[in-house]
Every structure is written in structure tokens, then in C-alpha cells.
Amino acid sequence: MKLFPESALMQLEFDKVKALLAAHCQTAYGKNKAEQLRIHTRLSYIEPELKQTHEYKLLLQNGIYFPNDIVLNVAGELKLLGVPGAVLNEEQLINIRRLAESMKQVFHWFDAERKIAYPLLLSVVARSYYEKAVIALIDDVLDEYGNVKDNASTALEKIRIGLIRKRAELRRAFDRVVAKWNKSGYVSDIEEAFLNGRRVVAVHAEYKRQVKGILLGESDTRKTSFIEPEETIELNNDVFALEHEESREIYRILRELTKQLSVYAALLKEYYVIAGEYDFIRGKAKLAMDIGGNYPVVQDRALVQLIEAHHPLLYLYHQRSGKPVIPVSVTLDEKSRILVISGPNAGGKTVTLKTVGLLQMMLQSGLLVPVHPHSQMGIFKQLMIHIGDTQSLEFELSTYSSHLKNMKYLIDNANGRTLFFIDELGSGSDPHLGGAFAEVILEELAKKHAFGIVTTHYLNLKVMANKTPGIINGAMAFDEKHLLPLYKLVIGKPGSSYTFSIAERIGMEPQLIARAKTMVAEDHFSLDKLLNRAEQDVRILEQKEKKLNTLLKDNERLKKEMEQTMQQEKHRQQVELLEQQNKINEERIAYLKDMERKLKQIVFDWRRMESHEDKSALMKQLHAMLFKQKEKQVKEKAKKKFDSKYIETGGEVKAGLKVRMLQNNQVGTVKEIRDKKAIVQLGVIPITVELKNLVVVRDKEGEGVSEK
């Protein structure tokens, strides 16, 4: 990516992000790659980098182990492998083995399922392979502690057997001499020591001439002399010679092993790069976890659609201090390419500008960015900024001259793939003249189809943004009542600078404020006041909308609860109906079982009876049981028919009233009362019935009419 000026990386604090990334890397390769992090402009490079980081982030989030926890810096060893005749020592060879072992675990980690689940992490090792011969060659020579094995060669094995024998013989001879000299009182408290690799006896200095041997040294106080006994000189010489032979043989074995491993030098360098790449990817994933980074939708065109974005460094600072982070949402597309942000000082205009610029740099360098995953980000070829005072004493440029110089560069070089950021456009000169120039600069950048964000206090730029295609207004919200910035970007309307409001709140003299107002053009003051009031009205509407949304959510919740309650009640009623039906069915089954039992008993008794009289009596019993039940069913049917038409009212039976006959549930009209009997008209036939067998009733329809 082409940057202007050269200090753009530092001004947008990209260098601090790189430092955080390097701190998460453990290998020298990973740290170096983090420090040299570049900003790219090709989607084919950017997208795989983002996907790799996203896949590793998923591993961290799900607690899945990836085998790249071995930290190795074997660049020197790998360089020696490529030098003919070079020899690696035991420690260096063990480091080479650890590298190969680490790659073995990585290749085995990618089973069939993980190859499908993590294709971009797999791509790091896709062109390499695991060679087991590297570990096998080293294991044939070195043990697990890094020592050359006795059986590494036949000659070494023979030498070490000879060493064991000679050392044992030397030990016995030396012990005899020490015991003999100790008995004579020649030996000091130290008794024995090693000097220049040879075994010596510590003798009191006054007795050094009374013992046979070679004087090899004395103590600092000269009170002790170190003498090699005459009896052990030859044995010491033999041991020394064997040790020298052992060293030469070990050197020869290590040189041969180094030569064998040099065949795999290129592959081992690949392993080193792979280990470093995974370390670098892990560092990016850990940084993403720290700053809340996500993988947005990336498109190969000019586009900025950030949802709930926040500045990564500010996010980390707020996390440490326990402050809430207020996200910002910004959209720059073909219809709205340039955003003009206005509002009071310290309201967050510059932070918003820097946030968008830094996140664009991070994305195009392959880093996950702290935005909502549904955000969309494009790719830009150029990024140009103008932030802060750029006065140059070296070139004798004033602030405004330097400002215009930078603006000229932007106008000359901007195109449809340029993303620019200008803080306080037009500042540093006469407000009216500077504002006019700022308007011209903004028009030219719009004609170039460049994308960017501009912050300003100029009213003419706010007015221009409302009427110029491709340019939109934005404002940083401000709580005028409490005189506090809300750090919230509102798109679609300009913001007031709250100049006089802030002056009033901090207690400036009213007459001074009034004088200042008289010095401002009426239309200028009225417009700022209108913006001020409009912004507060919008805030009130937003609060009401928020309250309304809360009420709607509560209403929806209550509706769901009511529907759930109704469903539960309906279910309860259905259960009760089923229980009632089951109860009726149970009663019928019990009746049928009882009837079956009685019929079986009658059949059984019939077979046992012999006389005709007994059988006749049994038949009468059967007839009574069956037909009484039928009669009962008829009566129940008549009772249901009666209940559907009439209601019993009870009371005294009198002429003209309707009555029910208890014997057959028939209804008639009383014509006349005679003593304890009544004459009831039943159709066309009068019947005499006792009063005790009658119940006064009335029509159901009549009841309904009377109620009306």
C-alpha cells in the first residue's frame, strides 16, 4: 500500500499494534515477521492470512491444542548444515531433533477431519512432508540426554571399555597410595583432587620431598602441595590417552552425522519456516483475542462498512481501567464516499478518524480487526492522512502552508482506490477564506471518487455536505445538559460546536458571551443554534425510540407468555376430557365384566341343574337381569330427553302446571286435584297419578324468555 506521508504508520499508531503482535510471538522468526509486517493490496494474499488467523483463533476459543509450543531458534544450526565439513555438537543436534519432532506432531495433528475443518492452517505444511530419517539418524548416535551412545561406533565402544578398566585400575592404585601416605601423616584434609585433568594427592607442603611423585601445583597459601604419585603416573597417562582417543572418535561420529543430516538441510529449513509461521499465526490469533478482533467480509473494491468498530489500543486501555468502550459504525460506499464529521472538541472526531484508518491498515496486513463479523471492508491502494500541526521549521513552512502542500498532494494523487483522512480541514487560516478553500478541496476529492473522512468546525462544509452528491454529514453526539461528550457518531446530520453552551457551562461572564454573539454574523449564529437544537431533538427522539422499543419487547414477551398460558390451559382441558372419557369407559368395562361374570355363573348353574323347575327359575332370573337393564337404559334415555327440554322447579302441584311423572319421565299438564291424586292431561288422554309421583317443571325456552 502506498502511504502519505511516511509518518502515516506512526500517526495512526500502527507501529504500536506491531509491537503488541511481536510480544505475542515466541520465536525469533515470528518476532521478526511481526516487526516487518507489511500492508498489502492484493486480496489473494490478504484473505488467506485472515482465514489462517481466524482458524487459529477458533482453536484458542475452543481450547483445542495445536502442537507448536516448542520454541526453537535453530537458524545458526541450519546455516552450519549447509557448510561442507561443518560439525554440529550434541546440543545443536538435539535442537535439530526437537524441530523434527515438533513437525512430526504437526503433521500427525492434521487427521482427516481437521484437514477439512482447518484448510488454511493445513496450507502452511501442504507443500512439505515429514521425514522420519532425521530423528532416526540422531537417535542412532545420541541418547535422550544428548550424550553420544557407547555403540555409536565399534571404535568408541572399545575405547570406553578400555577407559572403564583403566579408571578402575587407577582408582585402586590411587586408594593404596592415599592410605599409605595418610598413615604417615603426609596427607592434608583435602586428600585428593584433579589438576589439569590428572588425579593428584593433597600433601602438606613440608612433606612434599618425602613422597615419590610429580609436583603439579600448590595452594594459594603454599601450605598444600598437589602431587601425582609415582605409582599412578603411567595409569594416568593411559587414561589421558584413551580420553583423547574418545574425544577424537566422538568428533568423527558427530562430523559424520552432520554430513548425513546435511542431505536434509533444505527440508529442515522448511521445518524452521513452518514452525515460525505457526508461531506468527498464533501471535495474530492471540492479539485478536485481546482486542476482540473478528473476520469481516472482505471485498476487492473500495468499501468501508464498519459495524460496532472500536480502536484496538483504546479498547485495551479501557479494559485495564475498567471503562466501557463505545463502538462506532461508519459506512463509505459509492453513494456516500466522503464523510464530514462535525461536533465539539474532545468529542471523538479524531478518534473516529484514526479508528477507521488503523483498522484498514490492520486488515490489509492480515490482522483480524475489532468489528462486528457482519462488517464489510474493501481494499485500497493508497492511504493518505493529514492529522495535527504539520508546521515545518526546516523548510520554513507555516501550519497553513504545510496544510495546503499536503492537500495539493492529495488532490494530485487521489483516485477511486484512495482512502484519505483529514483532521480539521481548512484550519490555520482566516475562517471565511480557509472555509472556502476547504470547500474547493473537498469538491476536488469528490470528483476524484476518493473515499475518506474529514473533521471540521466550518459551517459552510456542513451545508455543502448536505447538497453535494457523494458527501454526507456526521456528528459526534454531545450532552449539552451535563456538558459531556457521548462519543457516539450520528450519520446524516451535521453537529454543533457548542461554543457558547460550553462557555456558559464553565461559568464565563454572561456579558462576555453576549458580546461574542453580537460579533458573529446573524445567519452563522442562527445556523449553529439550529444545529444545536436539532441535535438535542434527535437525542430526545432516540431516547423515546429506545423506550418504545423496550415497551414493544415487553409487549412481545407478555404476548408469548399469554400464548403459552393459553396453550397450557387448553392442554389441561384436553387432559380432563380424556380423564372423564376414560372414567366412563372404565365404568362400562366394569359393568360388562360384572355382566359377563353373572352370565357365566348362570350357564354354570344351568348345566348342573336337572329339574325343569330349577331351570325355569334360573331363566326368570336371567330375564329379569337382562330386561331390567334394558328398562334402565330406556329410562336414562327418557331422562336425557326430558333434561334437554325441561327444568324441575319443585313446589306444590297445582292445576295448570306442568309436571313430570317419576315412573316414566313423561310430562303433562295438571287438570284437576282430587285428594292425594291429580288428573294429568298426557296428550289427549287424562291419567290419574298420585301427587307423590309428580314433580313440577317448566320449559327451558320459557326460562330464557323470562330472563330477557
CB atoms within 10 A of CB 11: 20
Question: Picking from 335-339, 365-369, 415-419, 524-528, which range would have the lowest pLDDT averaged per residue?
Answer: 524-528
Predicted confidence (pLDDT) at residue 240 exceeds the cutoff of 60: yes
The phi, psi pair for 11, rounded to 5°, reads -65, -35
In this prediction, residue 708 carries a pLDDT of 32
Mean of pLDDT over the chain: 83
Cell of 226: 598437589
Predicted confidence (pLDDT) at residue 106 exceeds the cutoff of 80: yes
623: amino acid identity, one letter: H
In terms of average pLDDT, the best of 160-164, 345-349, 669-673 is: 160-164
The verdict on 185 and 275 lying in the same domain is no
The verdict on 473 and 351 lying in the same domain is yes
Predicted confidence (pLDDT) at residue 390 exceeds the cutoff of 50: no
Cell of 560: 408469548
∠ Cα 315 376 55 (to 5°): 70
Q: Which residue among 458, 483, 498 closes a domain?
A: 498
In this prediction, residue 122 carries a pLDDT of 96
| Alpha helices by DSSP H, 609-658 | 612-645
Asked if residue 464 lies in contact with residue 442, where contact means CB atoms within 8 angstroms, the answer is yes
Answer whether the bond into residue 67 is a cis peptide, omega within 30°. Answer: no
Instruction: Please check whether residue 181 lies inside any domain of the structure.
Output: yes
Local structure of residue 206 (DSSP, 8 states): G
| Residues 37-57: b if buried by 16+ CB within 10 A, e if exposed | bebbeeeeebbebbbbbbbbb
**Bridge partners of residue 338, in order along the sequence:** 452, 471
Local structure of residue 147 (DSSP, 8 states): P
The band of 465, judged by pLDDT with boundaries at 50, 70 and 90, is: confident
Instruction: Please check whether residue 555 lies inside any domain of the structure.
Output: yes
The verdict on 160 and 121 lying in the same domain is no
In terms of average pLDDT, the best of 15-24, 472-481, 574-583, 628-637 is: 15-24
| Residues 116-151: b if buried by 16+ CB within 10 A, e if exposed | eebebbbebbeeeebbeebbebbeebbeeeeebeee
Instruction: Please check whether residue 296 lies inside any domain of the structure.
Output: no
The verdict on 326 and 417 lying in the same domain is yes
The verdict on 456 and 358 lying in the same domain is yes
Instruction: Please check whether residue 256 lies inside any domain of the structure.
Output: no
How far is it, in rounded angstroms, from Cα 296 to Cα 47? 10
In this prediction, residue 392 carries a pLDDT of 41
Q: 493 by DSSP, 3-state: which?
A: coil
How far is it, in rounded angstroms, from Cα 408 to Cα 412? 6
Count how many Cα atoms sit within 13 Å of the Cα of residue 177 in the half-sphere of its side chain.
Answer: 23
**Bridge partners of residue 200, in order along the sequence:** 193
The verdict on 437 and 356 lying in the same domain is yes
Predicted confidence (pLDDT) at residue 527 exceeds the cutoff of 60: no
3-state DSSP helix/strand/coil % of the chain, to nearest 5:
55, 20, 25
Q: What percent of the chain has pLDDT over 90?
A: 41
Task: Give 603 or 659, the one with higher predicted confidence.
Answer: 659
Distance set, CA 129 to CA 13, 68, 114, 259, 290 (Å): 40, 16, 17, 21, 34
In this prediction, residue 577 carries a pLDDT of 77
The verdict on 309 and 405 lying in the same domain is yes
In terms of average pLDDT, the best of 104-108, 321-325, 553-557 is: 104-108
CATH of the domain at 487: 3.40.50.300
The verdict on 358 and 396 lying in the same domain is yes
CATH of the domain at 24: 1.10.1420.10
Sequence-separated (6 or more) residues with CB below 8 Å from residue 264 = 131, 133, 134
Q: Residue 565 sits in which domain range?
A: 551-624
Task: Count structural domains, the chain.
Answer: 5
694: amino acid identity, one letter: L
Task: List, edge to edge, every strand of the sheet that includes 187-195.
Answer: 187-195, 198-204, 224-229, 213-218
In this prediction, residue 419 carries a pLDDT of 96
The beta strands (E) that lie in 174-252 are given as: 187-195, 198-204, 213-218, 224-229
Asked if residue 333 lies in contact with residue 344, where contact means CB atoms within 8 angstroms, the answer is no
CB atoms within 10 A of CB 268: 23
The beta strands (E) that lie in 343-400 are given as: 376-377, 382-386
In this prediction, residue 3 carries a pLDDT of 93
In this prediction, residue 551 carries a pLDDT of 85
What pTM does this model have?
Answer: 0.68
| Alpha helices by DSSP H, 265-384 | 265-291, 312-321, 349-364
Q: Which residue among 571, 597, 624 closes a domain?
A: 624
Instruction: Please check whether residue 511 lies inside any domain of the structure.
Output: no
Instruction: Please check whether residue 206 lies inside any domain of the structure.
Output: yes
The band of 706, judged by pLDDT with boundaries at 50, 70 and 90, is: very low
Q: Are strands 470-479 and 336-342 parallel, antiparallel or unpaired?
A: parallel
Task: Give 122 or 217, the one with higher predicted confidence.
Answer: 122
Sequence-separated (6 or more) residues with CB below 8 Å from residue 131 = 100, 264, 267
Q: Give per-residue pLDDT as tens, 638-650.
A: 777 777 788 888 8
The verdict on 20 and 117 lying in the same domain is yes
Count how many Cα atoms sit within 13 Å of the Cα of residue 144 in the half-sphere of its side chain.
Answer: 0
The verdict on 179 and 271 lying in the same domain is no
The verdict on 326 and 428 lying in the same domain is yes
Residue for grid cell 445538559: 481
In this prediction, residue 108 carries a pLDDT of 95
Return the H-helix or E-strand segment holding 233: helix 233-262
Q: Please give the span between the terminal C-alpha atoms of the chain, in angstroms, as a whole number.
A: 90
Instruction: Please check whether residue 145 lies inside any domain of the structure.
Output: no
Q: Give per-residue pLDDT as tens, 665-692.
A: 788 898 888 888 888 888 777 888 888 8
The verdict on 221 and 271 lying in the same domain is no
Closest CA to 376 of 294, 301, 293, 298: 298
Distance set, CA 16 to CA 22, 38, 451 (Å): 10, 14, 25
Asked if residue 666 lies in contact with residue 689, where contact means CB atoms within 8 angstroms, the answer is no
Residue 358 CA from chain centroid, whole number: 22
Burial of 559 (0-12, 13-18, 19+ CB in 10 A): exposed
Return the H-helix or E-strand segment holding 437: helix 431-447
Instruction: Please check whether residue 528 lies inside any domain of the structure.
Output: no
